Structure 1
Amino acid sequence: MDQTFAAASPDPLEGRPEPDSAAPPPRPSSTAGWLGALARTARIDASPERIFPLVLDAVAAERPHAPALIGRDETLNHRELAARRNRYARWALARGLAKGDTVALLMRNCPDYLAIWLGLTRVGVCVALLNTHLRGAGLAHCLVVAAPRLVIAASDLADVLEGVLPHLAEPPEIVWQGPDARDSLAAASAGFREAPLGSDEAPSVTLRDPALLIYTSGTTGLPKAARVSHHRVMMWTHWFAGLIDPTPDDRMYDCLPLYHSVGGVVAPGSVLLGGGSVVIREKFSASRFWADVAESGATLFQYIGELCRYLTLAAPDPAERQHRLRLCTGNGMRAEVWEAFQARFAIPRILEFYAATEGTLSLYNVEGRVGAVGRVPSFMARRSPALIVRHDVTTGLPARDAQGRCIPAEFGEAGELLGRLSERAEYTFEGYTSAAESARKVLRDVIEPNDAWMRTGDLMRRDAQGFFTFVDRIGDTFRWKGENVATTEVAEALHRVAGVREANVYGVSVPGAEGRAGMAALAVGPDFDLAHLHAEMETRLPAYARPLFLRLSDELGHTETFKQKKVTLAEDGFDPARTDDPLYIDRDGAYRRIDGALYAQIAGGELRL
């Protein structure tokens, strides 16, 4: 049986001010969210040519003057959004772009971003959503794998594209967008009609046709371009609309990148379906967050768990309880943050979910169970099959029995989460632009001969009530002293210690020792005490799971979607020659500073660990 340890039960964050008293959050029905999602998605497949831009045309006809997209510098009502995307669609056709062509989009968050990809996908163009934080070879890789006919880029990102050119065999054709752009997309499209496109002027586009290329974050290598069909766009938006039940009065606060699936499709699309509006911000600001949420009248907030942790650790804000939020929805909310965030900021309801851009499996926690990513209710089991199988940390693959089949995990046992694949559109793995990368995600002969399942790459547990809990990413879990250690659970214990602002946990190789030892990079505050941390680790974690090495930093690196970067930290290891950050080893009952001499002893295998 997998011996990955379970962390202690959640307790409130230490050192935080007591929140004002608030009524307990309402207990939502255990089935209402599921039934709403099922109702919204029930008839998607009945109309193969009813793609998302057409659905929004109907919304615009019903609520033309209601706000749709609210940016810092521009607000579009539903009629104006429809008019703009229809002009962009006709511009694409006049430009000679054909169904199946790809166009890359490089712009920061703004209302025009959504108008562009909605307009181009309306006529069958596939839009590759480029990460604005990538530079040089990384961004060039994304362009190469997409092979776009042209690039639509914001004029204020001209230097970014200029830095890409040395890494490309041929420079791409660029259409600029922005107030200071010469021959901009806005100007070129201004003369086209704003009315909905007729069937005689647009190609037939179906749910099975490609709509977007959305890139993975590239935390363990170069980003992969995941194919997203019109069917997936419809399923994502309608399913979440069923879960959150948006009304015309709702406003979604969206400060996540529009080039990713949650921030750019799920969050705005689900609310626009209900006739509501989306408050678009270029980036997250902890200092301005609550004032902006209150001033904008937001009723919904799409989070990534790390944002909630930042807010919970922040100093008290006079505006933090002046909001109108009725629901916060997102993924990655840690158990030790959840209750503190909800209580301090008087959040009526949290809807946590688990999903991946390229995935065929989703989980939703409509009940508000703290720390769980969701469950599959019994009446949904056939529609959304999920399976946890035992994982072999040594090989990084699911364990197999004597017959070559995967071994289902027991309740409470950590294993890899798989999703069954089938010919049904919603369970078809659309893959990446790379066939080799796509093949790596598919696992066969899992339960029976020739069956096919998609590997999520995530370790999960399921309890007797069916709730799934995230354990770790495969590759992050490591083995030390014959035991499997989940980095997320070590990080959870570290985050409970006063003075620890952020913890990034990973395994490092030690000469002469089997497996990988635990190491934690910590961003700490002025109240941090090394001796107190050591005492807390002895109390909270089994001996094999306690970090053997520490690295103290002012700030830890993140991707643009707030995922921690582990690869470089693991490569640096505990070598003081590779960093100016202070390094420590757990030795003789305390954390002791590693200098060149001590490192030489460790690296030479002279110290018994």
Structure 2
Amino acid sequence: MEEKKRSGAARYCTVPSCKNNSVRNEGYSFFSFPKQTDRALIRFTRVNYYLLKWERRNMTLPKVFVDIVAKHPHKVAFYFEDDIWSFQRVDEYSNRVANFFLSEGYQRGDCVALLLESRPEYICLWLGLSKIGVKAALINTNLTGDSLVHSIEVAGSKAVVFGSDFKNALKDIQPKIVNLKKYQFNENIWLSPPLFDDAKDLRTCLKEAAMDAVTEHIAKGNLKDHILYIYTSGTTGLPKAAVITNVRYMVMAVGLNKMVAVQNNDCIYDSLPLYHTAGGIVGTGQALLCGGTVAIRKKFSATNFWKDCVKYRCTIAQYIGETCRYLLAADDKNLVKHNVRAMFGNGLKAQIWKPFAEKFGIKEIFEFYGATESNSNLVNIDSTVGAVGFVPFYARFLYPVSLVQCDEVTGEPLRDVNGRYITCGENEPGVLIGKISTLRAVNQFTGYADKVATEKKILRDVFNEGDMYFNTGDILMYDDFGYFYFKDRTGDTFRWKGENVSTSEIEAVISDIAHLSDAVVYGVEVPGAEGKAGMAAIVDQTRSLDLEQFAEGLRKHLPVYAQPIFIRLMDSVELTGTFKLIKRDLVVEGFNIDIVKDDIFFYDVKTKRFVPLTRELYELIMKGEISCPDNFD
């Protein structure tokens, strides 16, 4: 046991920021805490202080934001390209949004879908809508076809605000959205592309709208009001609209702010999509709720990442695992001297953690774990390599998260002979679950727009009769110090290019475009790539599948990150038993041509075709000399 403790302590000194940390080799007991437990307790207390204060005052995001504007109206809220947005400018623009949509007849509880690129106006649009109690559905800009229609409809949207760049995506689904009001936002103020058939020119409309504060409407807001829908892929196919209430937004944005000790004079670089939680809530929330300054980029660029950080004098930057790998692999000629001292995000693999920190001089890396709808988010506050969070054992009653044993195939939690769930021990993988409480904001679960989908994520009578827990569906493990580590994702979902991919949705598309019912989709690991690449095993006994038309169909019906990169043509797939057992075997075999005797094809991004996976091509992929298709420069 002593040797185990000693080796565990040693790993905390593998990142520059940890070299001077004094971690006790003997671990800790209730009366003997290492420094990180004290730090965690202090910061967690700060988080709860703000949440309790706002809860007692029935504060909402617009109410808090208005207070911040009053304190420092001329402070920079957002940098974007060569534009500067002060808090006063954000407030005035969002007031125009609020007044315009009031004049259009929208009322509290209505929903408007947003489909446009990342920019300050995007934030002002949903902020202005929230001031009058109208929800905004933040649509993934990669979506097309039926997925796009579904995302608009599942939120109950009465209108869609779309950028001119996404006009064609709407044109493709026009017959299915004829009754939807449309507002076209021209991203380029110097060019005026033709309007969509029955759309209004939103940029012009907002110029003419009143800038008066909507104080009475803001005052009607409630802490539990729904303000956003953010979409997350699950095991049921099409995207699910996760409900974001005022308090949910506060928990995520302020929770990160206090746990990683963001300072008032920090400038945060946010190059992540604003339709996702990380960029759109955790990132922009540092300005809207905490009064900080955030630099926004339209789209992540490895070439310009550090240049932007210098340009905006950023001291903190956000990441997802993919961005770190691209930055590490980028040409060193893009390296510039910057002032970024810390980064926070999720998905940074342990293998590149230390090289990344050392190459770019990052003193602290705050890796966190969480899902948009989850009530069991975690954060690693002391740069422990590979850890996604830290919860001291003595603090589990304050933040009740647990790991429970599960079926290794289905991922379903297991019950004991008494019908209760079985907790995992140290270093034992299990499903992470978080206790649901309606009394404490930090433990609430607001679910999805779809009540059936919401109910599926709730576990009942877990440890005691009547208790409820949120099922994350993710496999984690914790060590003897209380650090949590991500292991795998259960269910029919994998992560690729920073996006959650639903295998059942892709299987349905393949069945539709290839007219072959037996298709299995899964994620496979590729050397040098974060997450798992999509692979489809398709039963095609006669080899009649036209791969060129198939590739075209995938591009038309699926976003880039969801398109399978490997295709395996098979004579048969045994459809008996649980079926997932078969998928597991396929995952293990992957695209290994030494094991798989079926025909395998690889998507060549240059020719936009599936080409045979030859021995030469396979070896190049395994050496990392040929990378999988992506959207990053």
Interval containing the TM-score (normalised by the shorter chain): 0.7 to 0.9
- AA aligned opposite 1:289: F
- AA aligned opposite 2:85: L
Query: In angstroms, what is the RMSD of aligned CA positions?
Result: 3.7
2:39 matched to 1:32? yes
2:305 matched to 1:298? no
Pair 59,93 (structure 1): closer, same or farther in 2 beyond 3 Å: same
1:409 to 424, 439, 464: 424
User: What is the correspondence of 1:100-499 to structure 2 with a 5 Å cutoff?
Assistant: 100-168=109-177, 170-178=178-186, 179=189, 180=192, 183-199=200-216, 202=218, 204-217=220-233, 221-320=237-336, 322-378=337-393, 380-424=395-439, 425-475=441-491, 491=525, 495=527
- Quote the Cα distance in structure 2 between the aligned partners of 1:26 and 1:63: 37
- AA aligned opposite 2:460: R
- AA aligned opposite 1:582: L
- Quote the Cα distance in structure 2 between the aligned partners of 1:311 and 1:155: 30
Q: Deviations over 1:382-406 (max 9, x none)?
A: 2311111111124431122222222
1:582 to 590, 613, 624: 613
Q: Unaligned stretches of 5+ in structure 1?
A: 1-8, 13-20, 479-486, 523-529, 535-545, 558-577, 594-609
Could you tell me which residue of structure 1 aligns to residue 585 of structure 2?
Answer: 516
- Quote the Cα distance in structure 1 between the aligned partners of 2:395 and 2:129: 35
Q: CA deviation at 1:49?
A: 3.4
- Quote the Cα distance in structure 1 between the aligned partners of 2:435 and 2:279: 26
Q: Deviations over 1:291-312 (max 9, x none)?
A: 2222221111111111111212
- Quote the Cα distance in structure 2 between the aligned partners of 1:408 and 1:502: 30
Contact 1:519-1:550 within 8 A present in 2 as well? no
Q: Deviations over 1:272-323 (max 9, x none)?
A: 4443311111111112222222222111111111111121222323525x11
- AA aligned opposite 2:181: E
- AA aligned opposite 2:205: A
- Quote the Cα distance in structure 1 between the aligned partners of 2:382 and 2:19: 11
- AA aligned opposite 2:397: R
TM-score (norm 2): 0.73
Contact 2:230-2:243 within 8 A present in 1 as well? yes
Task: Kindly tell me the number of residue pairs found equivalent between the two proteins.
Answer: 514
- The structure whose residues are more often helix, as a share, is 2
Contact 2:387-2:485 within 8 A present in 1 as well? yes
Which deviates more from structure 2 when the two are superposed, residues 93-102 or residues 108-117?
Answer: 93-102
Between the aligned residues of both structures, percent identity stands at 32
2:99 matched to 1:90? yes
TM-score (norm 1): 0.76
Pair 243,23 (structure 1): closer, same or farther in 2 beyond 3 Å: closer
Pair 105,477 (structure 1): closer, same or farther in 2 beyond 3 Å: closer
Pair 219,404 (structure 1): closer, same or farther in 2 beyond 3 Å: closer
- Quote the Cα distance in structure 1 between the aligned partners of 2:20 and 2:290: 23
Contact 1:25-1:349 within 8 A present in 2 as well? no
Pair 23,248 (structure 1): closer, same or farther in 2 beyond 3 Å: closer
Pair 93,235 (structure 1): closer, same or farther in 2 beyond 3 Å: same
2:96 matched to 1:49? no
- Quote the Cα distance in structure 2 between the aligned partners of 1:422 and 1:23: 36
- AA aligned opposite 2:272: L
Contact 1:247-1:275 within 8 A present in 2 as well? no
Pair 581,337 (structure 1): closer, same or farther in 2 beyond 3 Å: farther
- Quote the Cα distance in structure 2 between the aligned partners of 1:393 and 1:119: 46
- Quote the Cα distance in structure 1 between the aligned partners of 2:215 and 2:443: 32
Q: CA deviation at 1:254?
A: 0.8
- AA aligned opposite 2:363: P
Contact 1:550-1:584 within 8 A present in 2 as well? no
Q: Unaligned stretches of 5+ in structure 2?
A: 1-7, 23-34, 495-521, 538-569, 575-580, 622-633
Q: Name the SS for the 1:128 alignment partner.
A: strand
Contact 2:55-2:223 within 8 A present in 1 as well? no
User: What is the correspondence of 1:519-530 to structure 2 with a 5 Å cutoff?
Assistant: 519-520=589-590
